[in-house]
Structure 1
Amino acid sequence: MKKTLTRGLMNLLPMVLSIWLFWSLFISLDELGRFLLESLSVTPPFVGAGFTLVALIVFIAGLLFSVSPIVWLYGWIERQLMKFPLFKSVYGSIRDIAALMNKDNKPKNQQTVLVKQANGGYVVGFIMGDETPKPLTDALPEGDWVPVLFQLSYQMAGVTSLVRKQDLIEVDWSFEEAMRFNLTAGISTTKP
């Protein structure tokens, strides 16, 4: 009985939580869109009209950000707001997280690697960029250093370490599969 309940829970829980999460996001965005429509004295014509409006606004914003004057104006506003320390910290963090989700901005060489540890074991990591920032390069001994992220299990956090390229073992493993492996502490080895 216990095994059957556990099996049912382990199979249903990820699906139910994923559907709940996306449904909650849909409802929240729909409410935001409905609020915008109602503030313009427009009655939403159908269920999901608010969500459709928000999706349309995001799409139009994406189109506008492909036009140079809009990009320049937004960049100027952003630079002015970044002069405020608290705004700079909060906005910078949110922008960096959003950039992580944007596959277009991911480094083309993002590579899964193994790094040998002092005890003879290996740690799975990810090369996150081509080069190390100049202040770090100046402080490090000679060598070709790259930032490598070691993802912590069950967290969206990790440790970035600077590793010599010659000490890395490249692995033919997709970023998504290796990230899933790291996030679940090696429990997840299945493909989506």
Structure 2
Amino acid sequence: MKSIRRTFIKGLIAIIPLIFTLYLLFWFAGTLEMALGYIFKFIFPDSWYIRGFGVALAIPLVFFFGCFLESRSFRKVFNTFETQVIQIPFIKSIYTTMRDFTSLFSHENKGKFKQVVLVNAPPGNSQQIGFITVSDFEDTSHTFITDDQIAVYIPFSYQVGGQTVIISREHVIGIDMSVEDALRFIATAGIAGSANNT
């Protein structure tokens, strides 16, 4: 009986992430199809529409939007629009949370994570994994930061968010770990190992 239960649990543990991932993918595709399908029908006759055109439209739309963001003038317009959006109380919380979360996986922000470190968290001997984001404050006007301090971002496990701490260099230890492995380790509370071990 124990063997059957162990086998069932093993299968359950393996299949839940798969089902959840597929569910999110289908939900995202369905949302894109519903939203962009209306745009397709608005531009072209209804008889031209075939289910799936909404998702197909999303690919060039995202690509061209990325191209537009390369333009300084369009980027300025987008930043102005974004500034207006984050002034709306409820929308601000949702938008900024999603923006900050997705930006963690961009190559630009990974470049801003200068080093994966262990941060000594008093009291006691506990340590937290974080990322050095600013190692030199010489060009800033923050008078409360001393020369021997750095900025370290510490993400939270199993949720969106984190905290930025200004801490003395002596309380930070650099470790030989990639940003991707560190993000995976933190996001799963240490359960997931490196990409090579999973």
TM-score of the aligned structures, taking structure 2 as reference length = 0.77
Q: 1:103 aligns with which of 103, 107, 111?
A: 107
1:36-73 alpha-carbon deviations (Å, 9 max, x no partner): 11223433543321111122222122222223333344
Q: Which amino acid aligns with 1:3?
A: R
Deviation at 1:23, TM superposition (A): 1.6
- Which residue is equivalent to 1:149? 153
Name the SS of the counterpart of 2:134 in structure 1: coil
Give, in whole Å, the separation in 1 of the partners of 2:185 and 2:91: 33
Q: Which amino acid aligns with 1:21?
A: L
Q: Does 1:12 align with 2:15?
A: yes
Q: Does 1:138 align with 2:108?
A: no
Q: Percent identity?
A: 24
**Which structure 2 residues correspond to residues 50-65 of structure 1 after superposition, within 5 A?**
50-65=54-69
Give the count of matched residue pairs.
189
1:101-158 alpha-carbon deviations (Å, 9 max, x no partner): 42224434432101224423322222233455956x4124x33322212232221222
Q: Is the 8 A contact 2:117 2:132 kept in 1?
A: yes
Give, in whole Å, the separation in 2 of the partners of 1:108 and 1:6: 41
Q: Is the 8 A contact 1:107 1:128 kept in 2?
A: no
Q: Which amino acid aligns with 1:35?
A: Y
Deviation at 1:78, TM superposition (A): 4.8
Q: Does 1:124 align with 2:129?
A: yes
* Structure 1: 5+ residue stretches without partners: none
- Which residue is equivalent to 1:23? 26
Q: Does 1:170 align with 2:174?
A: yes
- Which residue is equivalent to 2:186? 182
Q: Which amino acid aligns with 2:116?
A: T
Deviation at 1:33, TM superposition (A): 1.5
Give, in whole Å, the separation in 2 of the partners of 1:131 and 1:88: 34
CA pair 92-134 structure 1, distance change in 2 beyond 3 A: farther
- Which residue is equivalent to 1:66? 70
Q: Is the 8 A contact 1:148 1:160 kept in 2?
A: yes
